Amino acid sequence: MLYIGCHLSYSKGYEAMGRQALEIDANTFAFFTRNPRGGAAKAIDETDAAALRELLDKNSFGRLVAHAPYTMNACAADENIRRFAREAMTGDLIRMEATPHNYYNFHPGSHVKQGVDVGIKLITEQLNECLTAEQTTTVLLETMAGKGSEMGRSFDELRAIIDGVELKDKLGVCLDTCHVWDGGYDIVNNLDGVLEEFDRIIGLDRLKAIHLNDSLNPLGSHKDRHAKIGEGQIGADALIRVINHPKLKNLPFILETPNDIEGYAREIKFLRENYSE
Ligand code: FE
Ligand code: FE
Ligand code: ZN
């Protein structure tokens, strides 16, 4: 079963996202749990959340992949930024229980001159503080392009973070095709090899979701500029191989391509036409 969707706006609430997903033939989607640039989160409307739960259930959606705000930096040098990151994650994990048993993806952060080891330590500390045995949400570390001092640029860095976390069954990884390509993993010519490496270092059982994006830049460029499917250096053929790969094909695929809603609908249609059960 192909679970495919895109980023949707939470501005009209939960049920509206579900209805919009149905309109564009999506059966999963992503949304920001709060303003992506930070700030306070809206109060949860329980009736609205219940309406979405029913819609997801009725239409056999795959798991949703919520996204933490970009301003969340678990390994910032500034203590106030780290405190915001912890408070936002703790709050978001409570909010996520309005739509239980889904995914919450976050960028591990940027260590800003403190070094990779301090970065790993601070990120694991945040996770150990925020994850709870009761939560039904799985928190996903996103693979990053390695722009500046961004953490999560290699499978080894993600593995080191996972190793430090106590509640490992609440933790997974979201692989972003643009980011791993920019990070130097050749998913165009050697997808099998990249997945073998992922399996050896992290374990494919931890891979829970895919961000499906083309990239404006070449392999290993560490730039993180997304392109529409087929309009970047990864190309449509390689991305079609990703959605059809036997080790990936049942995961939720989320488009984060530079598109309006019609553009997303076209990409979803194109990918469905190129998927074989
Ligand atoms: Fe992201
Ligand atoms: Fe992403
Ligand atoms: Zn990106």
pLDDT per residue, tens digit, the chain (277 aa), is 999 999 999 999 999 999 999 999 999 999 998 877 777 788 899 999 999 999 999 999 999 999 999 999 999 999 999 999 999 999 999 999 999 999 999 999 999 999 999 999 999 999 999 999 999 999 999 999 999 999 999 999 999 999 999 999 999 999 999 999 999 999 999 999 999 999 999 999 999 999 999 999 999 999 999 999 999 999 999 999 999 999 999 999 999 999 999 999 999 999 999 999 8
Distance between CA atoms of residues 204 and 163, nearest Å: 15
Catalytic member of 92, 176, 214, 267: 176
Class of the CATH-defined domain 3-273: alpha beta
Catalytic-residue membership of 37: yes
95 alpha carbon to ligand 3 midpoint, in Å? 24
Measured in Å, residue 235 CA sits from the centre of ligand 2 at 17
Annotated active-site residue in 15, 92, 142, 267: 142
Residue 43: CB partners within 8 Å, gap ≥ 6?
A: none
* 234 CA distance to ligand 3 middle (Å): 14
Amino acid identity, position 179? H
Q: Report the relative pairing of strands 226-227 and 214-215 from DSSP bridges.
A: antiparallel
The yes-or-no answer on residue 226 being catalytic is yes
101 labelled catalytic? no
Domain residue ranges of the chain, discontinuous segments joined by +: 3-273
Q: Is 241 a catalytic residue?
A: no
Alpha-carbon dihedral 184, 68, 75, 125, rounded to 10 degrees? -110
| CA 103 / ligand 2 centre spacing (Å) | 13
First vs last C-alpha separation in the chain: 6
Q: Is 256 a catalytic residue?
A: yes
Given 34, 95, 111, 179, the catalytic residue:
179
Q: Is 111 a catalytic residue?
A: no
Residue 176 bears catalytic tag: yes
d(CA 188, CA 178): 11
Cα 112 to Cα 67: distance, rounded to the nearest angstrom: 22
Centre of ligand 3 to C-alpha 224, Å, is 5
**For the whole model, what pTM was predicted?**
0.97
| Alpha carbon distances (Å) from 254 to 8, 172, 209, 221 | 10, 16, 8, 22
Beta strands in the chain (DSSP E): 3-6, 65-67, 103-106, 138-142, 171-176, 207-212, 214-215, 226-227, 252-255
pLDDT at residue 172, rounded to an integer: 98
> Which residue in 7, 67, 82, 111 is the catalytic one?
67
